[in-house]
Chain A
Amino acid sequence: MAYLTGYEYYENNGSLPEDKNWGSYQYISLDDIVNNFMLMYVGNDKLVNNVERYNVLFHAKRGIQELNYDALKETKIVELTVCDNATVVLPPDFVNWVRISLYKEGVLMPLTENIQTNFAKSYLQDNDCKVLFDESGDVLIGTSLLDADRVDGIQKTQYLGDGKLNGALGYNIEGKWVFDYAIGARYGLNTETANINPTFKINKSGGVISFSSSMADQIIVIEYVSDGMEGGDDASVSVNKLFEGYIYAYIKYAILNAKFGVQEYVVRRAQKEKSSLLRNARIRLSNIHPGRLLMNMRGAQKWLK
């Protein structure tokens, strides 16, 4: 018998939400992983014995988290409008960003991260530069000038200047400015910051993304990775079936590695099994197939300027 009937899959048995089971066949639930592991890998005649279920659950979740950080290509995508103070609050399950883009005039334009700081916490000080405290002894916090300048568009990039033509001699011909070619290279340009487009900086502890001033009221698209824990709802935690074997191997290795008295060769064997299954799964997930290769290879004969 099928796991789900067609009606259950397509229309959730007439219940809401209708799309609950769409694509669910790709995944195996956390519940199933723990259950299968306890059933198949734990026992009197198995390598793993006398292990509590919460141990298995912990390692299963850790394995899924690790996968989400670096192996799974399951990015979450959220669209938001930047508020007037040029900041956006991070999504609730945000762990790290993949790409942040500006969506404007039908084009998705990836933004560059500002490697310099564009925000700060401002401690209040008196005329003698002494830090001020409240009655509880905590430092008083004021409005950051750095932050205010970012919002007002006053903040500049040190090495970028105002563009390569700013201050250069030119000719105004019939209302249009014409410049000579600059002679020589632009020595001193910091290529890391050489970008005239809007930038962003993630304030991780503050839980916000701070954009440059021109991003206020613009629409952005954040692509990010989470840890796969679905906000603590165990029933929703799942992992792609291509990684199922890896997760079992990860749990087995983690338990054997932490257990007293297990021979080193047994631990090594478990470690190797885990690593090779991760490689296998990554290859499977990379989806290299002739159709995709053909599209890539169409550019092979392209002339490079």
Chain B
Amino acid sequence: MRGFLFFVYLCIKYSQMINSVRNTVLAVANKHNFGYITPADFNLYAKQAQLDIFENYFYRYNEWIAKQNARVSGSGYADIVKNLEEVIDTFSVEGFLYNVIDNKYKMPNEDNNSSTYYLLNKVLVYTSFITKGLTDGFDAGNNIIEDSTKDFSTIIVGDYVSFEINDEVIFVKVLEKVSQTELRVDSNLLNSSGVTYTIYNTSVRQNEAERVSHSKITMLNSSNLTSPKTTSPAFTQSELTINIYPDTINNVGQVVAQYIRKPRDPKWTYINLTDGEPLFDQGASDYQDFELPATDEPLITSKILQYAGISIREADVYQVGATEEAKDKQKQG
């Protein structure tokens, strides 16, 4: 009996939010025989609801900063701004940007990837490097930077090496100086020659690049006093790329971005039973729970109910969701 109770306890403790939300949504919708929401529809509504709430975090953050300045927000547990920051920071990612050409770097933007960016917060630039080149050989262990045109005598163990493989920037440490022209690094991806690499000193400094609008960058570049330098770099943002200035910043692994990624699309996965009733399966490879905190569950439920209500043309269902959301917002100030 105690074993069974413990199992129930574990089930409750580790029950997945997406399943809980779906059960609630179905319960509300079925109470008045409004109809059944298929898993595919639920997943679509869930995605929209999560994005909606996620985006709203930034507006709420702004509102609460204004309130904080008006001395409406408190400190400690009453520090709402800090709470909101904590949630947003769970989506923070730091990664090297792929050098497309010259001073143009690519933003991570693969669809529903774990690092698809939503908001670029900070761009850092390594101010200097020791040397750069192109490998002209490789080793069976796939972990050697081999360049017969270079003399690696000034490189020391612990220096950083960055190189690009399959549109991805790898940033690793030098483990051993094999010879004047060969370095063993902490990676086993060097399985071909012709890899562009750059080597950085361990003490190399990172400077933050400033985002500048397209309307200002030309004037800024020609300004005597404020033109971008390696000590104060700047960048402009385009659809999927950023251009860094001064344009001498054009090396592999020289640019790092800290950004807020998009939440992954939630997916309620299931196994079809013989009578057609889907059974929740969180072991599926494409399973994805909501990434927002558990405290957002009521809001997510309300949002999904609204979408579901619109879908089945039931104003009542929509109304229930909208009312619940309004109450929630009122409570949060």
Contacts and interface: CB of A to CB of B under 8 A. Distances in A.
A229 B69 CA distance: 38
B226 A58 contact: yes
A57 interface: yes
Contact of B68 (A45, A52, A57, A235): A45
9 contacts: A31-B231, A31-B232, A34-B232, A44-B68, A53-B232, A54-B220, A57-B225, A58-B226, A229-B225
Given A31-B231, A234-B231, A234-B232, A54 B65 contact: no
Contacts of B210: 52-54
A262 to B, nearest CB: 15
Q: Looking at chain A, what size class is its interface with the partner chain?
A: 10 to 19
Contacts of B225: 57-58, 61-62, 229
B226 A54 contact: yes
B285 interface: no
Contacts of A137: none
Contacts of A58: 223, 225-226
Contacts of B212: 52, 54
A232 interface: yes
B contact patch SS: mixed
A234 B229 contact: yes
Given A44-B69, A234-B231, 5 more contacts: A44-B65, A45-B65, A54-B210, A54-B212, A54-B232
Contacts of A31: 231-232
B226 A57 contact: yes
A45 B229 contact: no
Interface string A40-54: 000011000000111
Contacts of A235: 231
Interface of A: 31, 34, 44-45, 52-54, 57-58, 61-62, 229, 232, 234-235
A97 B232 CA distance: 32
B145 interface: no
Q: Looking at chain B, what size class is its interface with the partner chain?
A: 10 to 19
Contacts of A53: 210, 232
B224 interface: yes
Interface centre among B220, B226, B234 (most CB of A within 10 A): B226
A229 B229 CA distance: 14
Nearest to A54: B226
A266 to B, nearest CB: 15
B81 to A, nearest CB: 9
B218 to A, nearest CB: 13
A118 B69 CA distance: 64
Contacts of A44: 65, 68-69
A41 to B, nearest CB: 16
A57 B226 CA distance: 7
Nearest to B225: A61
Contact of A54 (B69, B224, B231, B234): B234
Interface centre among A45, A53, A58, A61 (most CB of B within 10 A): A53
Question: Which are the 7 A-B pairs with shortest beta-carbon distances?
Answer: A54-B226, A53-B210, A44-B65, A58-B226, A61-B225, A234-B231, A234-B229
Contacts of B232: 31, 34, 53-54, 57, 234
A232 B223 CA distance: 11
Contacts of B69: 44-45
Interface in B203-247: 210, 212, 220, 223-226, 229, 231-232, 234
A58 B68 CA distance: 31
B173 to A, nearest CB: 23
Interface string B180-221: 000000000000000000000000000000101000000010
B333 to A, nearest CB: 17
Nearest to B66: A44
Contacts of B226: 54, 57-58, 61
A145 to B, nearest CB: 38
A54 B226 CA distance: 6
Contacts of A34: 232
Contacts of B231: 31, 234-235
Contacts of B224: 232
A54 B211 CA distance: 10
A243 B114 CA distance: 49
Nearest to B213: A52
A44 B66 CA distance: 8
A229 B227 CA distance: 13
Nearest to B211: A52
A34 B69 CA distance: 24
Nearest to A65: B225
Contacts of B65: 44-45
Nearest to A229: B225
Nearest to B228: A54
Contacts of A232: 224
B219 to A, nearest CB: 10
A232 B226 CA distance: 10
